[in-house]
Amino acid sequence: MKFKSGFVSLIGRPNVGKSTLINYLVGDKIAIVSEKPQTTRNVIRGIVTFEEAQIVFLDTPGIVRLSQAKTPLDRHIIEQALRGLGGVDMIVLMVDCTSPISEEDKFIVEKLKTIEKIVFLAMNKIDKIKENQLRSLWQAYENLFPFARIIPISAKKGTNISILGGEMIRYLPVHPPYYSSDLVTDQPERILVAELIRERIFALAHQEIPYSVLVKVNQFEQRKEDLIYVQATLYVEHRSQKGILIGRAGKMIKMIGETARGQIEERLGCRIYLELRVAVKKGWRRRKESFKDLGYGL
Ligand SMILES: Nc1nc2c(ncn2[C@@H]2O[C@H](COP(=O)(O)OP(=O)(O)OP(=O)(O)O)[C@@H](O)[C@H]2O)c(=O)[nH]1
Ligand SMILES: [Mg+2]
């Protein structure tokens, strides 16, 4: 049997579980996840190597309609995600089966109609519904677009993920692997660290704060054999947000730092000395030149 290999883009509206799926597939935490929508800002590659195939997944930021994009950053993020539709062998549209077809889903399907690619539909979060609740939604999606496969899954519990993987391999082209088999992502460690810090901000801060923060890792140095020194700056958009992020007597920033350190240590497998600073980069989400600091792929 010949080896198969290809690129698969994972798209969908925010919060449907794309990053959760990519983590499950690679068996490692490479993409941050949160209960809040619009968590992912960059396209992240997750590599899964089987005996007979290698799939390179592209986790993309959640797509909203352009009219809903509030800032130049939002528009930039959507453009990134839509770019994820080109240059891949296959596309998986992920939807949340606990809610009806949304305007965003329809917007994405319209985009899919303009490109000739194999598209799977992954109906995620089946752990939250009863089986008979799926039928009418399934039918509705079937009427919307000629999906090559429709697979109900739970990215959180791992339900039907092996079926999804197996079906994808069937459609992939014969091609040698693109990456070494021990690699799960090509994301640089600095970016991964910045993302893990951002995940803690999404978990701990409220309202606009997580969306207003840009994390930049300035120093990443091996100080001892098992100790890495990391210095990161958390940029906010306004002076008032600085105080909120630091918290009363520094409580919030301390909590972000402590929990992030634990996550980074677990991921990198060594001790971390983490130093966080908070600074203001006025209105950075409106300024294109600051997007390059967002990190990978920009
Ligand atoms: N119950 C349940 N929850 C899930 C499942 N998959 C993901 N979630 C939850 O849904 C939320 C969003 O998950 P993410 O993986 O961050 O979603 P995303 O599509 O990457 O979101 P964006 O990056 O904002 O586009 C998190 O709270 C996950 O724990 C699932 O199969 N079942
Ligand atoms: Mg995501």
Per-position DSSP letters for 88-120, written without gaps between them: -SEEEEEEETTSPPPHHHHHHHHHHHTS--EEE
Top CATH class of 4-171 equals alpha beta
Q: Which of 15, 95, 195 to mutate to test the pocket of ligand 1 (most atoms within 8 A of CB)?
A: 15
- List average pLDDT for each run of 10 residues in the chain, which is 298 residues long: 95 97 96 96 95 97 89 89 90 97 95 95 97 92 98 98 97 98 94 96 96 95 94 96 97 98 95 97 88 60
pLDDT value, residue 296: 43
C-alpha 39 – ligand 2 centre gap (Å): 5
pLDDT value, residue 288: 82
pLDDT value, residue 67: 85
Pairing type for strands 4-11 and 53-59 reads parallel
Residues enclosing ligand 1, CB less than 6 A? 12, 14-20, 33-35, 37-40, 61-62, 124-125, 127-128, 154-156
C-alpha 128 – ligand 2 centre gap (Å): 19
C-alpha 107 – ligand 2 centre gap (Å): 18
pLDDT value, residue 295: 59
Q: Yes or no: is domain 189-294 CATH 3.30.300.20?
A: yes
pLDDT value, residue 132: 86
pLDDT value, residue 298: 38
Q: Where are the domains of the chain?
A: 4-171, 189-294
Q: Of 256, 216, 218, 220, which Cα lies nearest the Cα of 236?
A: 216
